């Protein structure tokens, strides 16, 4: 399977714990995005990278959230001191480098986080 | 006003029906437009990009109206397998964050 992969697929944690998610984009896609989706809502943008550079962060990305893409390949999203409001599906997407066009984004299966 | 708005539905239609969804966006500078399909508890899957001239892919037709700031999706000859949530997404600049609507739920029955 050459699509976007995410690990773990499910995570249950207790409030106050730290969690880390991993995303592996489609090979040679240079842009990588993180979104969060709660029930009944569309995905909400968190942050994105072009290669290893983090180009944009949403206001939703509080100080407890940090994302990295150290070598321009896979990315990690860490949430420190989790809160029940962090419970959501965390989606990763990637898009290829294009000289024109819409930069279509392709999503991974997501990591479903439950904070107890 | 929300940045991207969709009628949440649900749209309940019989097999074979034609159904249309609209999506309005508030940023007139938006550059790229997409329709995604999302099945329950799955990730969004790109259905089609939306081009200024309109585009068609089999039973699906997408249109963009920049003057009125909306995009539409038309599904002809609905199948049971078309039952899903349809999300529209726009970007202010190509390659940047997608801004999604809440999605429109379609249920096709036999």
User: Among A82-86, A88-92, B16-20, B28-32, which stretch is predicted with the lowest mean pLDDT?
Assistant: B28-32
Please write the tens of the pLDDT for every residue from A28-71: 899 999 999 999 999 999 999 999 999 999 988 889 999 999 98
Cβ-count burial of A46 within 10 angstroms (0-12 exposed, 13-18 middle, 19+ buried)? Answer: buried
Q: How many CA atoms lie within 13 A of A7 on its CB side?
A: 6
Q: Which two tokens stand for residue A96?
A: 């290829």
Does residue A99 have a pLDDT over 80? no
More confident residue, A98 or A48: A48
pLDDT at A101: 59
Nearest alpha-carbon partner for B33 in B43, B25, B44: B25
Q: Which two tokens stand for residue B102?
A: 């809440």
To probe the interface with A, which of B34, B44, B45, B90 has the most A CB atoms within 10 Å? B44
* Chain B residues in contact with A112 (beta carbon < 8 A): 41
pLDDT at A5: 97
What is the mean pLDDT of each successive set of 10 residues along chain B, which is 110 residues long?
A: 87 97 93 95 95 92 95 97 97 88 96
For chain A, say whether B35 makes contact (Cβ under 8 Å): no
State the count of interchain CB pairs (< 8 A) between A and B.
60
């Amino acid at each position: 399977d050459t699509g976007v992969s995410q690990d773990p697929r499910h995570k249950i944690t207790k409030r106050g714990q730290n969690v880390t998610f991993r995303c592996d984009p489609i090979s040679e896609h240079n842009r990588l995005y993180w979104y969060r989706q709660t029930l009944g809502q569309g995905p909400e943008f968190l942050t994105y990278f072009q290669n290893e550079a983090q180009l944009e962060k949403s206001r939703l990305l509080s100080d407890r959230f940090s994302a990295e893409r150290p070598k321009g390949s896979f990315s990690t999203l860490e949430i420190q001191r989790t809160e029940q409001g962090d419970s959501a599906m965390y989606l990763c997407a990637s898009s290829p480098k294009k000289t024109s066009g819409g930069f279509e984004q392709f999503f991974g299966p997501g990591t479903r986080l439950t904070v107890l | 006003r929300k940045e991207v708005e969709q009628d949440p539905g649900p749209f309940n239609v019989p097999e074979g029906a034609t159904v249309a969804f609209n999506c309005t966006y508030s940023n007139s500078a938006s550059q790229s437009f997409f329709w995604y399909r999302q099945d329950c508890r799955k990730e969004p899957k790109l259905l089609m990009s939306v081009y200024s001239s309109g585009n068609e892919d089999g039973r699906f037709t997408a249109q963009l109206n920049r003057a009125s700031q909306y995009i539409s999706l038309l599904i002809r000859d609905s199948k049971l397998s078309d039952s899903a949530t349809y999300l529209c997404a726009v970007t202010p600049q190509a390659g940047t964050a997608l801004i999604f609507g809440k999605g429109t739920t379609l249920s096709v029955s036999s």
